[in-house]
Amino acid sequence: MDNKQAELPLVSVRSLGGTVAMTTAEPGRGASPSVSASDLVESIPALQGIARIDAASVAAVPSASLEFGQLLDLAAELERACVAGATGAVVTQGTDTMEETAFLLDLVWDRPEPLVVTGAMRTADSVGADGPANLLAAVTTAADPLAAGRGCLVVMNDEIHAARTVHKAHTASVAAFASPGTGPVGRVQEGRVLFQSTFRRTEPFEIPSGNGIARVALLRLAFAGDTVLLEAAAGSYDGIVIEGMGGGHVPTWWVEPLLAAAQQVPVVLGSRTGAGHVLSRTYGYPGSEQQLLGGGLIPAGDLDGLKARILLTLAISTSNDRDSARKAFEQRVASRTNTP
C-alpha cells in the first residue's frame, strides 16, 4: 500500500447476499447468491481510489430469508469495526426487504460513522448490472464525513435515501427505490456526495439479543374484509400494526375486536396509503381515527406498516414497560423533522 492509499478512509463492507451477489449458473435455472464480498469489491477497481476496504461475507441469502438476529449481530459487529477505526460501513443485501433492514439498522445504530445499505436490481452477470455502480456510490457515501451523524442511509441508483423513508416501489426497475412524500436526502454525483436535507436522529435502541425478539403482526385493511386474522393475531402476537384505510380508518365491525386487542397488546394504527401522517382529529364516525386512538391505539405518524412493525418490534423487545411502545412512537414520530 503506498502512502496515499494509507491515508484513505477505512470502510467495512459486509455482504448478506441478494441480487447484487447473484449469478445464473445455468441458463434457465434462475439466479442465486454466488459472489463474495471481496469478489464484489475486487470487481470495482475505482474503489481503490476512494477507500481502504475491509470486506467480508456474512451470509449468502435472498433478503426475504434474513432475520432480526442476523441484522442485529451485524450492527454490533460494524459498531465494533468503527470503534476499531473504520470511518464508515456498507452492507450489501437483497433489495426485497431493504426498506425494513435499513430501518432496523438505523434504529439501533449508535455511532456517528455512516452506515450505508445498498444492493442491485440486476444480477452481477447481467448486461448493465447496477451492483458495481451502487457499491461504488455506497462506499463513496460511507467514506464521506458529510454523511456522518445521519444514521443508516440507503444508496441505490445514485440516490441517497434516509432509512426511515425509503421504500421499494417497483419490482424490476433500477430506479426501484423512492422516499414517498419526502424524496431522497441526497445524491452521489461526479464522485461527490451532495445532501439536500437531513432527518434529526433520535436516541438509538439498545441492541436486543436475537432470542428475545418480540413477534409483531402486520395487518392491512381491505375493502369489506373480515376480522378473522385480527382475532387470531390478538391471541398470539406481542404486538399488532394495522394499516388502516385512508387517514387511519376501519370498518365498524373491526372496532370492537381492535379495541379489545389494544387492551391486551400494543396496537399501532398506520395507513395503507403509503404517504402522509395518520390523522388524529378529523373524523369522529364509528371506525374513525379519533375513535381508535381514543380507544388506545398508538398512531404510527407517517411510518408505513413495514417500518412501524420494525419500530414496534424493537420497542417491545427492549423494554417490559407497558408504555414503552407508545413512548417509542411518540419520541420517534413526533420528533421527526426534515430540515432542508
| Per CB under 6 A, 101 contacts ligand ASP | no
In terms of CB distance, is 21 or 268 closer to ligand ASP? 21
Considering only 19, 57, 101, 179, the residue that binds ligand ASP (CB under 6 A) is 19
| Per CB under 6 A, 131 contacts ligand ASP | no
In terms of CB distance, is 121 or 155 closer to ligand ASP? 121
| Per CB under 6 A, 130 contacts ligand ASP | no
> Least distance to ligand ASP from the beta carbon of 334, Å?
32
Of the residues 19, 87, 95, 97, only one is catalytic, namely: 19
Q: Which residue has 385480527 as its cell numbers?
A: 230
All residues at 6 or more sequence positions from 321 whose CB lies less than 8 Å from its CB, including other chains: 327
| Per CB under 6 A, 94 contacts ligand ASP | yes
In terms of CB distance, is 79 or 96 closer to ligand ASP? 96
Contact between 102 and 168 (Cβ < 8 Å): no
In terms of CB distance, is 138 or 292 closer to ligand ASP? 138
Q: Which stretch binds ligand ASP (CB under 6 A): 90-98, 238-246, 291-299, 314-322?
A: 90-98
Q: Binding marks (x or -) toward ligand ASP, 285..314, rule CB under 6 A?
A: ------------------------------
The cell for 281 is 382529529
Q: Binding marks (x or -) toward ligand ASP, 31..70, rule CB under 6 A?
A: -------------------------------xx-------
**Distance (Å, whole) CA 303 – CA 146:** 26
Q: Which stretch binds ligand ASP (CB under 6 A): 70-78, 91-99, 200-208, 227-235?
A: 91-99
Cβ burial 141-174 (10 Å sphere, 16+ → b, else e): bbbbeebeebbbbbbbbbbbbbbbbbbbeeeeeb
> Least distance to ligand ASP from the beta carbon of 51, Å?
23
Considering only 9, 88, 114, 119, the residue that binds ligand ASP (CB under 6 A) is 119
Considering only 11, 12, 18, 214, the residue that binds ligand ASP (CB under 6 A) is 18
Q: Which of 311, 83, 71, 44 is nearest to 204 (CA)?
A: 311
In terms of CB distance, is 119 or 248 closer to ligand ASP? 119
> Least distance to ligand ASP from the beta carbon of 66, Å?
8
> Least distance to ligand ASP from the beta carbon of 20, Å?
6
Considering only 12, 13, 87, 96, the residue that binds ligand ASP (CB under 6 A) is 96
- Residue 24 appears among annotated catalytic residues: no
> Least distance to ligand ASP from the beta carbon of 295, Å?
37
Q: Which stretch binds ligand ASP (CB under 6 A): 88-96, 107-115, 194-202, 238-246?
A: 88-96
> Which positions touch ligand ASP (CB under 6 A)?
18-19, 62-63, 94-96, 119, 121
Name the residues annotated as catalytic.
Answer: 19
